Amino acid sequence: MTVSHEGRPPLWPFLIILTLAGLLICYHLIMLYDLAMGHGLSSDATYNAVQGLLRIAIIASLILVVLGKKPALWAMWISIGSLIATHYWAHFGTVPVEFTAGRHPLSYLKGLIIPTIVTTAFLYRWRRS
């Protein structure tokens, strides 16, 4: 049962967005910290720089998604999709990384689960407002 006040969307989609976006923001901040401390994913400086920039873009887009900015969904999907593409670059390319060892190429697609839930909750909330 959804309790909704006149003219306001229900609270639960926002809470889902806030929780999942918050988890992703924390995760990517930790990854950025590791990169800054020299614990890069690779010995390839270009790969690490691209990873860092994409993580900054993901964090910025998720903050805007939490704030309810509809164009931020596009930015979120582009930045997360690009990050996943860099994993394929490492998996099938010549980037020296350890995280690809023994991984199935489709395993990187699980990075789309949380953005899908965030998008669904965002669009539900946006349509109700």
User: What is the predicted pLDDT for the residue at 5?
Assistant: 56
pLDDT digits (tens, 9 = 90+) for 9-54: 789 999 999 999 999 999 999 999 999 998 877 888 899 999 999 9
Name which of 90, 99, 105, 103 is nearest 46 in CA terms. Answer: 90
Specify the higher pLDDT residue, 125 or 32: 32
Question: What does the CA dihedral 119, 122, 127, 129 come to, rounded to 10 degrees?
Answer: -170
pLDDT digits (tens, 9 = 90+) for 42-95: 888 899 999 999 999 999 999 999 999 989 999 999 999 999 999 999 999 888
Name which of 37, 38, 31, 72 is nearest 54 in CA terms. Answer: 31
pLDDT digits (tens, 9 = 90+) for 87-122: 999 999 888 888 888 889 999 999 999 999 999 999
User: What is the predicted pLDDT for the residue at 129?
Assistant: 66
pTM: 0.88
User: What is the predicted pLDDT for the residue at 85?
Assistant: 95
